[in-house]
Amino acid sequence: MPMFRILLSVFLALQLVCNYAQQPNIILIVSDDQGYHDLGCYGSTEVMTPHLDQLAAEGVRFTNFYVTCSACTPSRSGLLSGRYPQRNGTYELFRNDRVDDGYLYTDYEYRISPEHILGMDQRERLISDFLKSADYVNGIFGKWDLGQLQRYLPLQRGFDRFYGFANTGIDYYTHERYGMASMYDDNEATMKDKGSYATDLFEREAISFLETNHERPFFLYLPFNAPHSASNLDPEIRGSVQAPESFLSQYPAGPGKRGRRVQGYRAAVTCMDQAIGSILERVKNYGLEDNTLIIFLSDNGGSGAADNSPLRGRKAQMYEGGLRVPCIIKYPGKIRPGQTNDDFVSALDILPTILAAANVKVPESVILDGHNLLPQVVDDGIQENQRKQMFWEFRDEYAARVDNWKWVQTKEGEGLFDLDHDLSEKRDLSASKPDVLQFMRQSFRTWQEEMLKAEPRGPFRDY
């Protein structure tokens, strides 16, 4: 009997090792408010991003990639759930809008404010939940943005380790928002690293996570706050992007406040790029590079000092500059290096892609709005692009894309554009293409009705 138990233990251990060997590691990197043009591999000659450029050279660069919202919280909800924000219930920001008037909350006021008490519906299953069920160890280092109360924090959403902040933005050095300490170490607020630059801290914690967990399958989620502007009540800092002097010195400061903001923005991007390079180098040193799926994207279009060219618009707008973002995927042995992919794809497709790579099944009861991208990019695309349409709704502004057609309805008016011939959305074809305009309006209404019929999720739906 003891020999049988020994053999059984050996068999189970070998089976576990085999399972681990078949499961790829997953690294999902998200920048914050980065412009479409602001990487070398997307055409920039002003911003230095050597490590992300190398990632693109070793994988596939998407030119036609869309997020689910032009602002951070709903965009991240769609990314992590694989479901439209209107379906998962998080289609607005969890924030207090008192930055501009410099209001300093008391601790009590902040703790009962919407920014602190709202969070993503706990019934939603995220990438981390699915991977946890497949024995992955999951870590997040950076911006969470899906709720600050303990029941909403990452450790209650499938993650094993969290170091970062849970609201929409912080000062890069004090880690405060409205004067309130915002950094978390797992479930506890912390001020132990006050004074240290946020990107450096997220790099440190990610490397520590890899040191501890590199011998088992891991999901490393790196949502940087760079290059988002600093959330500081000081008007001299607010709206600027903070960066260490060693990176600021790499860029000349232009004239006036605008020039300093551009300098800070570019420096923050390059600092983030170096942190990414350091983390990926550690993965390589552990011998894990060939079994690691790496995905990089921005959470929405750039704002402030960002460059979204040749796209029109910026963050929080329905034009391409608010919705189309850079995305790079590297998967050695599966995706041929050096590809540029022009397919119409979306952040909704990231969850299905990750779960397919990890061989994790999604229950039929979970309705996803995306699909696995790997068949489109493995072996030069053994499957045609599956996405034909996508829809957006944010703060009483709307947009739809069906094939090459793009329709927008904003507070300034309505527009219809042919993206195949007018990527910058300069020529409104509403008057000359009334049938297409009507079709796009109806397509949007049909999608809107589908979202309203979906099982309601909080916190904003009335049910």
> What's the pLDDT tens digit per position in 270-287?
999 999 999 999 999 999
Confidence class for position 10, pLDDT limits 50, 70, 90: very low
> What's the pLDDT tens digit per position in 286-301?
999 999 999 999 999 9
Confidence class for position 428, pLDDT limits 50, 70, 90: very high
Please report the pLDDT score of residue 84 as a whole number: 98
| Residue of 436, 435, 434, 416 whose CA lies nearest to 426 | 416
If you average pLDDT over residues 444-448, what whole number do you get?
Answer: 98
In the chain, what are the domain boundaries?
25-382
The answer to whether 276 and 320 have CB atoms below 8 angstroms apart is: no
The whole-chain average pLDDT of the chain stands at 94
| Residue of 165, 69, 87 whose CA lies nearest to 458 | 87
Q: What is d(CA 231, CA 216) in angstroms, rounded to the nearest whole number? A: 37
The answer to whether 149 and 117 have CB atoms below 8 angstroms apart is: yes
If you average pLDDT over residues 201-205, what whole number do you get?
Answer: 99
pLDDT at 18 over 50: no
- Give backbone dihedrals phi and psi of 254, rounded to 5 degrees, phi first: -75, 180
Residue appearing with tokens 């869309």: 66
If you average pLDDT over residues 213-233, what whole number do you get?
Answer: 97
pLDDT at 315 over 60: yes
195-199: Cβ within 8 A, 24+ apart: 197/172, 197/173, 197/242, 197/243, 197/244, 197/271, 198/165, 198/170, 198/172, 198/173, 198/225, 198/226, 199/172, 199/224, 199/225, 199/226, 199/268, 199/271, 199/272, 199/275
The answer to whether 31 and 41 have CB atoms below 8 angstroms apart is: no
Confidence class for position 17, pLDDT limits 50, 70, 90: very low
| Residue of 450, 397, 424, 419 whose CA lies nearest to 344 | 419
Please report the pLDDT score of residue 5 as a whole number: 53
| Residue of 99, 102, 96 whose CA lies nearest to 114 | 96
Give the CATH H-level superfamily of domain 25-382.
Alkaline Phosphatase, subunit A (3.40.720.10)
Q: What is d(CA 111, CA 116) in angstroms, rounded to the nearest whole number? A: 6
Q: What is d(CA 177, CA 183) in angstroms, rounded to the nearest whole number? A: 10
> At a CB cut-off of 8 Å and minimum separation 6, what does 198 contact?
165, 170, 172, 173, 175, 225, 226
Please report the pLDDT score of residue 99 as a whole number: 72
If you average pLDDT over residues 391-418, what whole number do you get?
Answer: 98
Window from 10-24, 174-188, 203-217, 226-240 with minimum mean pLDDT: 10-24
Q: What is d(CA 148, CA 352) in angstroms, rounded to the nearest whole number? A: 27
| Residue of 301, 415, 293, 445 whose CA lies nearest to 358 | 293
> What's the pLDDT tens digit per position in 31-90?
999 999 999 999 999 999 999 999 999 999 999 999 999 999 999 999 999 999 999 999
Confidence class for position 2, pLDDT limits 50, 70, 90: low
The share of the chain scoring above pLDDT 90, in percent, equals 87
Tell me the HSE value of 302 on the side-chain side, using a 13 A CA sphere: 23
